[in-house]
Amino acid sequence: MSPVVNIAAYKFLPLDGLKSLRVRLQDLCAEAQLKGSILLSPEGINLFVAGGERQIEQLLAELRSWPGLADLQPKISHTDHQPFRRMLVRIKKEIIAFGVPGIDPARRTSPKLAATQLKQWLDEGRPITLLDTRNDYEVKLGTFKNALPIGVDHFRDFPAAVAKLPEQLKEQTVVMFCTGGIRCEKAGPFMEQAGFKNILQLDGGILKYFEDVGGEHYDGECFVFDQRVGLDPKLGETHSTQCFQCQSPLTPAEQEHPHYVPGKSCQYCFKTPAEQMALNIARRHEVIRQLVNPLPGSQPYDHFKPVNVPVDCDGQTIVATLHRVVRHIALEVWERKCADGLVLTADHEPVAATHRVKPGERYLHRLPAVIEPAVNMDVTILHEDEAIVVVNKPAPLPIHSGGRFYRNTLQWLLYDVYAPQKLRPAHRLDANTTGVQVLTRTRHFAGRVQDQFARTQVEKVYLVRVNGHPEADQFACEMPISREPGKLGSRSVDPDGLPSHTDFRVLRRFNDGTALLEARPRTGRTNQIRIHIAHLGWPVCGDPAYLAGSEVGETQTLSIDAPPLCLHAFELTFKHPVSRQPVTFRAPPPAWAEE
């Protein structure tokens, strides 16, 4: 089998007509079955290409026919396999990304030092500083002995790294080097502008040094940007490889590490499941901070509430239907809304008040220029995996859309954070209640978790601060709770209601007349803890709805600056939908429970 010829070359020169040049090279490389990459830009050309000897000569002949490229001299090496997967010809702003205006290697670069001259200086022990301008992960495989790495992850960071170099280097002889010399073409003039007086660049870089003088004064191998990963001083491919996940080059010894899994991880990027989750959550929190500033519902927008026509409204007018479905809005109000163009078809066409409807049709109630009340969206993610997401819900914050809240809700926020997935709440906390909220990632997992809540198989522990001092340290309430909602959607103790059971334990009695309790609801009725403890005569501190003496207040969701409702979902235990093993999640107690 004939060896594969590998060439690397670049040249800074003005190039125009880049699109037509790109097409010519694409056609030539496709016909010659060459692979690699060629970058074209107004400042020049940079290429790494591999293929048969005759085909490589065809490419070089084409390039040398271009004005200014007649003297193009590539660095050549050989392999017994094709080191590239495909052929790319791209047009870029720069052939080596630097981003500093005014640096034009086609007009001027720093003086070049031949490889033989550098070796002689190093043999003589001449006092020079060898500056490695490559990225840290390249330096990791090898560099010149006693060389100073510039310390960057990307060449765009070079200017900032130069600013950190010792001031005395500006008076010393600095020989900079890189893989093939291209970076130094820009790095040298930049350092001269920064006040470095004796800058030289190694002509042709490390690869030319290997080609001309071998590996003396060099430790290790040279990283290259193809499947070979590393070349030894004889320009032969080494046994180094590259981590698929973090792109770190790995020596044969590093490939023996237990955390090296080809295509997945290495010792430098491996993370335990807990570490990976913590990293993912940190990223989610950053997204949350961006999404809630400003709050999603704080800017005016038109909201469209869908209304589906029930079967028993067949043939009725739209206003009669709307009044039937949304009973708290009077018939004459719906007539005015139709007249104002606020009732629309699903296609956003206005609907007249006399329009007749059919079962199953959907209409839209437009609410113009909605601005929602402020909420607390300081959501903290406690856990996430392939099945569930657990958050510490702040308050006030509704979970679902409803009432005056459409976008300022937990569900709206998490739809954005976890897009395209739409998380499904497995249970529901009131807008004013804080603590552990479980959501599921798919309908399948939702069924497995929601069923546990429905069957009261979830162990729940709440912290609640109440007005008054219960006499007993432990007590329970088993009063039934009404089936239907009353004023503002509230429930109440009702002898004919649903069976309900809450266990309470006093944790501390405070001097201000309040007490901190642990509440364990054994059933899952709406507002159960608040209703039971208020019925016993010790209403929850800050509760706007369930007041002393079985009175019901006038507020559902508290304002952002109101004293908090002192009810916190502290702990939940249930069976994980994947492992089917019990898992427990806790939300740190709020300030009112830590006193």
Q: In what order do the strands lie in the sheet with 35-41?
A: 75-79, 4-12, 44-51, 35-41, 87-91
Could you tell me the two tokens for 371? 């601005």
Q: What are phi and psi of 132, to 5 degrees?
A: -85, 110
Strand partners, 25: none
Q: For residue 248, what are its two tokens?
A: 């770190």
Residue 328 tokens, joined: 């708290």
Compute how many other C-beta atoms are within 10 angstroms of the C-beta atom of residue 510.
11
Query: Helix H segments across 428-536?
Result: 443-454, 528-535
Two tokens at 39? 């970058």
CB atoms inside a 10 Å sphere around CB 338? 21
Among the listed residues 178, 243, 313, 477, the single catalytic one is 178
Give the dihedral of Cα atoms 93, 96, 101, 103; nearest 10 deg. -130
Residue 178 annotated as catalytic: yes
Instruction: With H, G, I as helix, E, B as strand and everything else as coil, classify residue 93.
Output: coil
What is the C-alpha to C-alpha distance for residues 524 and 543, in angstroms, rounded to an integer? 19
What is the Cα–Cα distance from 27 to 21, expressed in whole angstroms?
Answer: 10
Residue 262: other Cβ atoms inside 10 A? 11
Question: Which residue bears the tokens 């950190």?
Answer: 164
End-to-end CA distance of the chain: 79
**Which residues are catalytically annotated?**
178
